[in-house]
Amino acid sequence: MKFNYICTECSRQFDIVPELMVCPNCSKAQRSDEPVRGILEINLEGNVNKQFSVFDMLPVEKEYFPAIPVGNTPLWQPANIRKNAGFANLQIKDDGVNPTFSFKDRASFLVSAFAKKHRINEIVLASTGNAGSSMAGIGAAAAQDITIFLPETAPEAKIVQALQYGASVYKVKGTYDLAYDMSLEYSRLKGGMNRNTAYNPMTIEGKKTVSLEIFQQLGNVPDYVFVSAGDGCIVAGVIKGFRDLLTLGLSDKMPVVYAVQAETSDALYRAWNSGKFENIPTHTVADSICVDIPRNGYHARKLLKNHNGRIIRVSDATILSAQHELASNGGLFTEPAGATAYAGFLSEKNNLENDAQVVVITTGNGLKDVASALKGVKAPDKSIKSIQEIL
């Protein structure tokens, strides 16, 4: 298999080298308050066996990946949830069981291997919380030095995780968007590899592995895939993975991919309808998808448009009730951004055939943000001294 970069705007091709993160021409048009310009995709050429391994389809050789079990997450059939929804072929791909408990490990894993291959030992990134704790954990397994810039509002569990893994953590007085810009500046001054989502092409490429696994686990391509979207990297990775399978002749169709956003942090959705990205302050209970400037906005929009994808929105209240439904009926406790995908499925299911193969991707573990999860349940309001009080 041969790999190289191709610019998603001008289609120019480049060798894969760590000094090149975005297209040198298209990135000249970059403004500070808009999505990343000149995103580079990995182009694959060659043949793979029908019994392929995920590593066969990645642009870094297997020997450079750290010894930590990323991916191969369960695709499972939640009986009660299926029954309640009336969808006999509903499946859940639970990426909350990754080593650092979020989907972000797929990107960190490939970035770590890419840096290792090129003997780069420092990795820097901005994060709403999960990408940072993920890179910290995967980096610990690879003996790499990780520096993270986080908004000061990031959930405590995600910060504690990053610190436990031994990363250097900087809290930023402002939003994720400020952290993003600061981390780029830090990389420019200090060197190392920058793992900012979208900007580093390996982040999108690493995320495609979820689709390769879904295909292997189902034995075919599902009809619909639901995933939540903030920066739009995961949804782009999901589409890229299915497109690679199709291009290489391993599959014969694309799924319809739904990007689900929070109603109150909906920059991708707004740009989908208005044609332009506007930097408006947003908020949502789903902190992992709370993004004002979706860094992979142009690329995600293009992939969704080219492959019959959809963008929908759900309210914070439906996110919290979807979270509680998955937990109480399925035994699956996912963080609000993970439940957003399921809330999207619930809001859309009347438009789908109820025998369709549907995959909902839950992207993070519920314990990552206990404060938000508490909003969806009623905590016991007093302690009791004897069971007489409750009989």
Ligand X SMILES: *Cc1c(COP(=O)(O)O)cnc(C)c1O
Among 230, 241, 344, 366, binds ligand X (CB under 6 A): 230
Order of strands across the sheet with 2-7?
13-14, 2-7, 40-45
Tokens encoding 83 = 């029954």
Helix or strand or coil: residue 370? helix
- Which residue, 179 or 235, has its beta carbon nearer to ligand X? 235
Query: For residues 91 and 134, which CB has a smaller minimum distance to ligand X in the complex?
Result: 134
3-state SS, residue 246? helix
In sequence order, which residues have a C-beta less than 8 Å from that of residue 45 and are 6 or more positions away? Answer: 1, 2, 3
The smaller minimum CB distance to ligand X, of residues 38 and 129, is found at 129
Q: Cα separation of 348 and 370, whole Å? A: 28
> Is position 234 an interface residue for ligand X (rule: CB under 6 A)?
yes
Residue whose CB is less far from ligand X, 98 or 357: 98
Do 52 and 241 meet the contact criterion of CB atoms below 8 Å apart?
no
Number of residues forming the site for ligand X (CB under 6 A): 20
The residues in 135-194 that bind ligand X, with binding defined as CB under 6 A, are: none
Minimum Å gap between C-beta 358 and ligand X is 18
Identify which of residues 229 and 319 has a Cβ nearer to ligand X in the complex: 229
Site string for ligand X, 77-106 (x = CB under 6 A): -------------------------xxx--
φ/ψ (deg, to 5) at 84: -60, -40
The least distance separating ligand X from the CB of residue 269, rounded to whole angstroms, comes to 12
Distance CA 20, CA 111 (A): 14
Shortest separation between residue 340's beta carbon and ligand X, angstroms: 7
Distance spanning both ends of the chain, measured CA to CA: 68
**Shortest Cβ 227–ligand X spacing (Å):** 7
Cα separation, 199 vs 182, whole angstroms: 14
DSSP, residue by residue, 309-364: -EEEEE-HHHHHHHHHHIIIIIS--B-HHHHHHHHHHHHHGGGS-TTS-EEEEE-B
Residue 107: CB minimum distance to ligand X, A: 8
SS3 call for 48: coil
* Part of the chain binding ligand X (CB under 6 A), chosen from 17-25, 54-62, 69-77, 233-241: 233-241
Minimum distance, C-beta of residue 1 to ligand X, in the bound complex (Å): 25
Report the site for ligand X in 320-359 (rule: CB under 6 A): 335, 337-338
Report the nearest approach of ligand X to the CB of residue 335 (Å): 5
* Residue whose beta carbon is closest to ligand X: 364
Which residue lies nearer to ligand X by CB, 38 or 344? 344
Which has the closest alpha carbon to 307: 216, 237, 207? 237
> To the nearest whole angstrom, how small is the minimum distance from the Cβ of residue 102 to ligand X?
5
Token code pair at residue 106: 């797929």
Residues that bind ligand X (CB under 6 A): 102-104, 130, 197, 228-235, 288-289, 335, 337-338, 363-364
